[in-house]
Each structure stands twice: as structure tokens, then as C-alpha cells.
Amino acid sequence: MNSLFLLSTAVAQTGAAQASSMGLVDILLKVLFGFAAIGVVMCFAALSVVVERKVAAFIQGRYGPCRTFIPYVMLIPFVGRFLQRAGLMQLAADGLKFLFKEEPLPSHVNKFWFTLAPVMSLAPVLIASCAIPFGFFMYDGTPHALAAADFDLSLLFVLALGSLGVYGAVLAGWSSNSKYSYMGAIRASAQMVSYELTMVLSLVPVIIWIAPNCESPLSLFDLGMSQSSMWNCFMFPLSAFLFLVALFAETNRQPFDMAESETDLVSGFHTEYGSFKFGLFFVGEYGHMVLGSSLFICIFLGAWSPLPGLSYPADWGWITAVLATLTFLAKIAFMIFFFVWVRWTLPRFRYDHVMNLGWGKLLPLSVANLVFYLVLAAFVK
Amino acid sequence: MKEEKIIDVKDVAAMAESGEIGERMIVNMGPSHPSTHGVLRMVFELDGDTITKCNPVIGYLHRGSEKVAENMTYNQFIPYTDRLDYLAPLCNNVAFATCAEKIAGIEIPERCKAIRVLCCELSRIASHLIGVGVYGMDAGAWTVFMYAFTQREKLYTLFERLTGARLTCSYARVGGLARDIPEGWLGDVASFANQFLPALDEMDKLITRNRIFIDRTEEIAVISRDEAVNWGLTGANLRASGVESDIRKDNPYLGYENYEFDIPVGTKGDAYDRWLVRMEEMRQSVRIIRQVIDKMPKGAWHVDDPRIFAPEKRSVLTQMESLISNFVLTTEGPNLPKGEAYFEAENPKGALGFFIMSGGGGVPYRVRIKGPSFVSLSILPKIMPGHHITDVPVILGSLDFVLGECDR
């Protein structure tokens, strides 16, 4: 939370400085970019629902959703059939169901917080998505981030907003006035707070290492650019691993889905939710996954470079921009596949084992990792 | 043992007001809850996340099977036995029919015995597949459940060819079977057995040595040898606690003494041992199935007694005596002498016992069913306290019960 406070003051100062020099067109453009970034995240979140179901079916030897169809769309040759087989119509049906179902508001809940909770779980993800550089383009001979908001502290910004997602779970659990939700919320908050430490500590070596050669090491764009020669996951394998594990915990994905833990807590913190409010939680969860994947790609997985040690040449102009963006999106797709793959392979941890793992194993490991790179950095210098 | 009050949810507010439960929390699970298999309801008293008291509440699936049995012939009751342990209907059919045959004092032909053994073992695999699959799912490993289900579907296709139904088979009859095995069926069973073992190994690789799964199940819900015996546990739950007891070995029926198989026994009696025992029992069942197929005797598949078993359809259509006996059998039931018998069969869930009291004729005077699931559930208040609430699904999964049999 400290980081959030620092960040807000920093952003406010730079924002105030910039606002005076910005015209109306600039602001409108920024808003447009913001919507585009949100659109990318939402698209991926929606697609990852389909991917989840399809990959799960593939892993388990089933077909997955393949029968739902919309009558007139089916008349389009090939495309309609493909949409049906790929389960995309199922996605449309589910989405519409969430939208049009009756909106239940149980009488025993605290109505204000109950309604706010799903918003709190989705909004930070969407806001943070504005700082994700999905690609880069060349302008005046220098690369620029393809992000709605590219600023020096974007890494900190995304991390801080990502950790705000826990408020959605806590609010939902508290306001639902149900014991299952309550326990789910407690687990979610404890788990997210514990793994936040590991997550940040695993990042510090990377930042320390690249800081001397980099103008703003806390910017996602610069972090991505610094990997054109070598991906960070090979230079900092332990950091990458720790970050990935913490990411699973942060996004509440199996094997860390304590907050939902459907076998004992029914649905955890969103037990009392239905229709559109549940849909918001649902999309928020997958949006979080997309956001976390983008973060991991930016920091460790080489951002826009297609292969380790390889990057698109700068003199190709807009082709580079398109290729870089496509590479980034492909990597997000791979990361989502990875998330799904793990979910359908591993059993769920027990809640106290999660805490033991977080505090007893991952945290010391991340501290040791940090110390190792600090010593190394001192010697190299 | 101290008498403990059953906590009801409506009492909780009063208890909280009077300070009876203090800081502790009452949580109700079931009868409609994803982790309670069937309609089991449990009321927990929690201290933080730790269970301090557990009260299982049963009876939501009570259908009065025992009373129903008094109003119909023996063969008419066979479909009701399907609904006891609905994951292993063939075993239940066989157990009931064998008990009735015990009263009649008839010996069924060798081929009938062999087919019944085959059915029981296939059914055991089907039931254990669901047992371990759901257990895995309770621990969060969905894919194990799907792997298990795929295999079980293959088994059910075999059952369908044999009996005409996938779930409620109703295959056994007093003195025989509903019909002989169809042409080519044995070969398909053999090929199922051949592909089943690799599939089981795959499940093993996926979860049995998985660190997360072992962490979740080891030292969980330990039932010591003495406890298991004292609480009257049967079946895999008893054997996991280290008691080498299997009715198929101790008191062989249907010619089980002619087949070679081992009884897997656990060492610690924890949830992990129960998993291992079930996995191994499936392998042993495959062993038995292979032996049965090799030795399948030829000849009659039902007793040749017109007062017990209906004559062949062809002779019913052509001979008057057969027609009469068929009519009498259908309306009045198999003619059993006066007497009573208790028979216990080693079912997948444990020892399923039938006590039949016959007043003579085709309708039982009284039927009593001893369901192993009821016994397995009765130990819950003993083993639950001290565990984390997240362990509840794992413990329930490890005990592998079916409420249809518990509530009857």
C-alpha cells in the first residue's frame, strides 16, 4: 500500500505538469488508447474462457463446448460451423446469459459493498491494462511503447493496481454475510498479501541488474527493451520461477485457488453472487490472468522479441510494430495456455500449506535470490 | 463415549447468545453442497479453520427400501437393490440373490457363479473408479476424475450389453441371472482389462506421487487398527487401517476361493492409504477378471428348478407346464421355504449384508440391509475434529461412501 501512495503522489505531480501542456485532442486520444487497451484485455479475458474450456477438454479427453449455435450465424458457410466447433458461440451464449439473467440481491447482504465488490475486482485490472505496452513503434528513430499510458513507474503502477484486486474478494466476502464467502475472503486476502512479498522481492534483482544501463528501470517498456539481447528468464531463472508461482497465487489460479476452493467453500467469496455481478468477477479473474501474463512477458519472457537473443530490426518501420505486437499477443496466448494447463493437471493446495509455502519456502528463497544478485552486482561492478 | 448433542442450525443463534459456543463458528455443509457426496449433511463447529465438532446428519435419501421389500417378491426387489449403492448395482443384486438362495438352500451352477464373480469384479472397478476419481476431484485434481470416468464409461457400455441398462442393471435373479452373457462379450471384457491397466498407471503417474496430493492426504483422518475394528468399518477403509480382512478370502462365496488374488493392506490408516488400497484393489480385480475369463465354465447358468427360476422362453411358448410355472413365478415369486438367512458380500464400499426372514413363499417377511456406507459415515465425528475445514472433502472422498446405501 505504501507503494500505491508513493505512486499516486508521483503520478499526480507529473500529471499536473503535463496537463497544462496537453490539448483536448491529446486527452481524447489518450482516452481512445485506454479503451483500446481495455479492449485487448477484455478480448483476451473472453477468449481465455474458451481456451480454458477447450484445453481442459483436450487434456481430459473430451470435446468441450461444441454444440451451441446461433441460428442465422450458422448459415454462413464454414465460419458458422467453425464458431460452433470452437466453442465461441458457447462463449456468446454464456456472456448473454450473464447479461440477461435476473439480478438477484440477497436480502441479508450489505447492498452498497455487495454491489461495489465486483466492480472493485474488475476495475483495477482494466485501469492497469492501460500501462501495459502491447508492442512498440518507431517514431523519429526512437522506439515508443504501444501503450495508452507509458510512464516511468508503469511497473509499480501495474503491481499496485494488481494487488488492489484483493479488495474485491474481501469486500465480497464481508458484505455477502455468508460463512463460506467470509472464509473465502479471509483466505484470499491472506494468500494475496503473503505472495505479494515474494512477487516484489523476486523482481528486485532484475531491476537492480538493469538499472545502470537503463534510463527508467521501473518502466515496463524499458524492461522489455532491455531484453532484446537476452531474455531475463534465462538470466534470472529463480526470479522468473518465483514470480510465476506468486502470479498463480495472485490470480487465485489452481493450485492456489483458495479463495474459491469449490469443494469445501462452495464458491468461496462469490458464493452469493449471480448473473452480471458474478460475470464481473469471472471476467476480472481472467483479466487478472491476462494482466499477470503481460507483466511476466514484459519482465521475464522477452517482451516483443520472438526468440531469445533475437529482435525485430528497427528499420522495418511499421512492419516491426505489427510483428512486435503480434509476438506479444502470441506470448499472452501461450501464457494463458500454461495457466490452463497447470490448472487441469495439479490438485489444489491446502490453505495452510499455501501459507507455509509462501512464508516458509518462497520468501526465504526470494531473499536468498536477492542477496545472491546483490553480491554478484557488487562484484561485477 | 460421551453423548453429544446434535447441533441444529436453528439452535446456533441461541447457542451464540448464551455463550455456549463462544468464539467458535457453526458451519453447515449439505445436504446440497459440492463436497458432500450425495445428500450428506454435516454441521461443523469451527475454531478458526479447525473443526472442533462434527455432526453428520443423514436420512435425506431414506426411501424405506427395507419396508418396500416386504411388499413384493424377491425378484421384484432386485431393482431396489440397484438403488442402494448405485455405483455398484451388480454387486448388490448378487448379494441379495445369494442371500435368498441361502434360504432356499440351493446351489447355483458353476457358470452362474463365474458370471456373478465377473460382474462383481467389474462392478468393483467401476465403483472404485468413481471412488478415486471423486477423491481426486475433492483434492482439486479434476483431470483424474475425467480419466476415471472415461474408463467407467467403457465399463458401463459393457454392462449395457450384458444387462440392457447402464446404471440400474438388475442382473441377478434368485437362482440364476436375468440372461446368459451375450456372444463375444467375454472377449470385450478381456480387451477392456488389457487397456485398463495402462490407464490406471497413467492415473497413478498423474496423482499418486504428486507432492501436493500426498501433502493433503498423508496423516489426514488417521484411523488406527483398533479404531477401525471397534467402529465396525469394512471393506477398503478397514484394510487401509492394516486389518487383513476380506470376505472374499475369509468366508468365500461364489467360488472366490478358486481365484488367486491378494488383499492390499495399508500401514497407517490415513487418507493416503485408503487411496492406495483402492488403486491396488482395482488391479487385483483385473487379475480375478482374467482368471474368470480363462476358466469360464460351460453349461447351465441358472438352477433347474421351476419353482425358483423361470423356464426358458421357448418352452413357455410351447409347453403348458412351463407356462404355468412361469405365471406362478411371475405373480407369486420364487417359492422359498420358511427360514432366515444373513449373507454378507464384499462389496466395493465394504461388507453389504442382507438379512432375510422368509415366512415361506415368494415374498420376504422381513428384510434388513446392513450398509457399509452407514458404518463408514458413523466414524466421522471421531476423525473430523482437529482437521482443517479444507480437509473435509478429502476425508469424505477417502471414506468413499454412497448415501443411497446409508439412508436406504
Measured between alpha carbons, how far is B373 from B149 in angstroms, rounded to an integer?
21
For residue B12, what pLDDT is reported?
58
CB B391 within 8 A of CB A348: no
Is the Cβ pair B25, A179 closer than 8 Å?
A: yes
Query: Given pLDDT bands bounded at 50, 70 and 90, which one contains residue B8?
Result: low
In chain B, which residues have their Cβ closer than 8 Å to the Cβ of A349?
A: 140, 212, 215-216
Does residue B15 have a pLDDT over 80? Answer: no
Look up residue B32 and give its three cell numbers: 446440497
The answer to whether B213 contacts chain A (CB < 8 Å) is yes
The answer to whether A58 contacts chain B (CB < 8 Å) is no
Does residue B218 have a pLDDT over 50? Answer: yes
Measured between alpha carbons, how far is A307 from A230 in angstroms, rounded to an integer?
9
The answer to whether A361 contacts chain B (CB < 8 Å) is no
Is the Cβ pair B212, A347 closer than 8 Å?
A: yes
Question: Average model confidence (pLDDT) for chain B?
Answer: 86
Measured between alpha carbons, how far is A60 from A280 in angstroms, rounded to an integer?
28
Looking at the complex, report in whole angstroms how far the Cα of residue B34 sits from the nearest Cα belonging to chain A.
Answer: 6
Exposure of B218 in the CB half-sphere (CA atoms within 13 A): 9
Is the Cβ pair A263, B389 closer than 8 Å?
A: no
Q: How far is CA A197 from CA A191, A193, A242, A359, B266, in A?
A: 11, 7, 11, 9, 41
Q: Which of A216-230, A349-363, B80-94, B238-252 has the lowest mean pLDDT?
A: A216-230
* Count of domains forming chain B: 1
Q: Average the pLDDT over A46-63 and give the result.
A: 87
Query: Given pLDDT bands bounded at 50, 70 and 90, which one contains residue A317?
Result: confident
- State the greatest distance between any 2 C-alpha atoms of chain A, in Å, as a whole number: 68
Q: Which residues contact B245 (CB under 8 A, 6 or more apart)?
A: B234, B238, B239, B263
Strand, helix or coil for residue A222: helix
Question: Average model confidence (pLDDT) for chain A?
Answer: 81
CB B271 within 8 A of CB B303: no
Provide the chain B residues 68-97 that lie in CB contact (below 8 A) with chain A: none
Is the Cβ pair A264, B390 closer than 8 Å?
A: yes
Q: How far is CA A219 from CA A136, A313, A322, in A?
A: 14, 22, 21
Q: How far is CA B173 from the centre of its chain?
A: 19
Looking at the complex, report in whole angstroms how far the Cα of residue A122 sits from the nearest Cα belonging to chain B.
Answer: 25
Provide the chain B residues 143-162 that lie in CB contact (below 8 A) with chain A: 143, 146-147, 150
The answer to whether B202 contacts chain A (CB < 8 Å) is no
Summarised one tens digit per residue, pLDDT across range A190-247 is 888 888 888 888 888 888 888 777 777 788 887 877 787 788 888 888 889 999 998 8
Measured between alpha carbons, how far is B33 from B40 in angstroms, rounded to an integer?
9
- Host domain of residue B204: 65-305+328-372
Residue B4 within a domain = no
Q: How far is CA A326 from CA A43, A134, B346, in A?
A: 14, 9, 61
Q: For residue B184, count CB atoms less than 10 angstroms from its CB and return exposed for 0-12, middle for 13-18, buried for 19 or more.
A: exposed
Measured between alpha carbons, how far is A198 from A365 in angstroms, rounded to an integer?
9
Measured between alpha carbons, how far is B203 from B211 in angstroms, rounded to an integer?
15
Measured between alpha carbons, how far is A226 from A300 in angstroms, rounded to an integer?
10
Interface test with A, best of B51, B137, B143 (most A CBs within 10 A): B143
Q: How far is CA A233 from CA A123, A191, A302, in A?
A: 30, 25, 8
In chain A, which residues have their Cβ closer than 8 Å to the Cβ of B147?
A: 60-61
In chain B, which residues have their Cβ closer than 8 Å to the Cβ of A262?
A: 34
Looking at the complex, report in whole angstroms how far the Cα of residue A173 sits from the nearest Cα belonging to chain B.
Answer: 15
For residue B6, what pLDDT is reported?
55
Is the Cβ pair B34, A60 closer than 8 Å?
A: no
For residue B1, what pLDDT is reported?
42
Closest by CA to B208, choosing from B119, B272, B121, is: B272
Q: Average the pLDDT over A288-303 and give the result.
A: 87
For residue A262, what pLDDT is reported?
64
Residue B277 within a domain = yes
Is the Cβ pair A179, B27 closer than 8 Å?
A: yes
Is the Cβ pair A347, B25 closer than 8 Å?
A: no
Q: Which residue has the cell 475445514?
A: B389
Q: B142-174: buried (b, 16+ CB within 10 Å) or exposed (e) per residue?
A: bbbbbbbbebbebbbebbeebbeeeebbbbbbb
Closest by CA to B31, choosing from B56, B2, B67, is: B56
What number is the ipTM of this complex?
0.80
Looking at the complex, report in whole angstroms how far the Cα of residue A360 sits from the nearest Cα belonging to chain B.
Answer: 15
Domain boundaries, chain A: 23-41+107-380
For residue B2, what pLDDT is reported?
46
The answer to whether B21 contacts chain A (CB < 8 Å) is no
Q: How far is CA A34 from the centre of its chain?
A: 16
Looking at the complex, report in whole angstroms how far the Cα of residue B232 sits from the nearest Cα belonging to chain A.
Answer: 28
In chain B, which residues have their Cβ closer than 8 Å to the Cβ of A179?
A: 25, 27
Residue B28 within a domain = no
The answer to whether A61 contacts chain B (CB < 8 Å) is yes
Measured between alpha carbons, how far is A51 from A37 in angstroms, rounded to an integer?
21
The answer to whether A62 contacts chain B (CB < 8 Å) is yes
CB A131 within 8 A of CB A158: yes
In chain A, which residues have their Cβ closer than 8 Å to the Cβ of B16?
A: none
Q: Which of A102-111, A265-274, A311-320, A356-365 has the lowest mean pLDDT?
A: A311-320
Question: Nearest CB to A60: which of B35, B143, B207?
Answer: B143
For residue B10, what pLDDT is reported?
57
In chain A, which residues have their Cβ closer than 8 Å to the Cβ of B153?
A: none
The answer to whether A263 contacts chain B (CB < 8 Å) is yes
Query: Given pLDDT bands bounded at 50, 70 and 90, which one contains residue B192?
Result: very high
Is the Cβ pair A262, B215 closer than 8 Å?
A: no
CATH number of domain containing B183: 1.10.645.10
Q: What is the DSSP string of A108-132?
A: TS-HHHHHHHHHHHHHHHHHHHTT-
Is the Cβ pair B206, A183 closer than 8 Å?
A: no
Q: How many CB pairs under 8 A join A and B?
A: 76
Summarised one tens digit per residue, pLDDT across range A89-148 is 888 888 888 888 888 788 888 888 888 888 888 888 888 888 888 877 777 777 777 777
Measured between alpha carbons, how far is B115 from B350 in angstroms, rounded to an integer?
21
Residue B29 within a domain = no
Look up residue A335 and give its three cell numbers: 501464457
For residue A381, what pLDDT is reported?
66
The answer to whether A342 contacts chain B (CB < 8 Å) is no
Is the Cβ pair B140, A257 closer than 8 Å?
A: yes
Looking at the complex, report in whole angstroms how far the Cα of residue B283 sits from the nearest Cα belonging to chain A.
Answer: 22
For residue B196, what pLDDT is reported?
92
Q: Give φ, ψ of A77 to 5 degrees.
A: -65, 145
Measured between alpha carbons, how far is A73 from B253 in angstroms, rounded to an integer?
62
Interface test with A, best of B41, B390, B391, B392 (most A CBs within 10 A): B390
Is the Cβ pair B138, A353 closer than 8 Å?
A: no
Is the Cβ pair A257, B136 closer than 8 Å?
A: no
Q: How far is CA A98 from CA A69, A90, A94, A275, in A?
A: 17, 12, 6, 5
Measured between alpha carbons, how far is B378 from A77 in angstroms, rounded to an integer?
60
Q: Average the pLDDT over A292-296 and give the result.
A: 89
Dihedral in degrees, nearest 10, Cα atoms B177, B183, B187, B193: -40
Residue B389 within a domain = no
Does residue B52 have a pLDDT over 70? Answer: yes
Does residue A3 have a pLDDT over 50? Answer: no
Residue B312 within a domain = no
Q: What is the 3-state secondary structure (H, E, C) of chain B?
A: CCCCCCCCHHHHHHHHHHCCCCCCEEEEECCCCCCCCCCCEEEEEEECCEEEEEEEECCCCCCCHHHHHCCCCHHHHHHHHHCCCCCCHHHHHHHHHHHHHHHHCCCCCHHHHHHHHHHHHHHHHHHHHHHHHHHHHHCCCHHHHHHHHHHHHHHHHHHHHHHCCCCCCCCEECCEECCCCCCCHHHHHHHHHHHHHHHHHHHHHHHHCCHHHHHHHCCCCCCCHHHHHHCCCCHHHHHHCCCCCCHHHHCCCCCHHHCCCCCCCCCCCCHHHHHHHHHHHHHHHHHHHHHHHHHCCCCCCCCCCCCCCCCCHHHHHHCHHHHHHHHHHHHHCCCEEEEEEEEEEEECCEEEEEEEEEEEECCEEEEEEECHHHHHHHCHHHHCCCCECCHHHHHHHHHCCCHHHHHC
For residue A165, what pLDDT is reported?
80
Quote the percentage of chain A above a pLDDT of 90. 2
Q: Average the pLDDT over B182-204 and give the result.
A: 90
Summarised one tens digit per residue, pLDDT across range A143-189 is 777 777 777 888 888 888 888 888 888 888 888 888 888 888 888 88
Measured between alpha carbons, how far is B314 from B312 in angstroms, rounded to an integer?
5
The answer to whether A174 contacts chain B (CB < 8 Å) is no
In chain A, which residues have their Cβ closer than 8 Å to the Cβ of B25?
A: 179
Q: Average the pLDDT over B68-93 and give the result.
A: 89
For residue A1, what pLDDT is reported?
42
Q: A176-206: buried (b, 16+ CB within 10 Å) or exposed (e) per residue?
A: bebbbbbbbbbbbbbbbebbbbbbbbbbbbb
* Angle ∠(B352,B394,B243) on CA atoms, nearest 5: 45
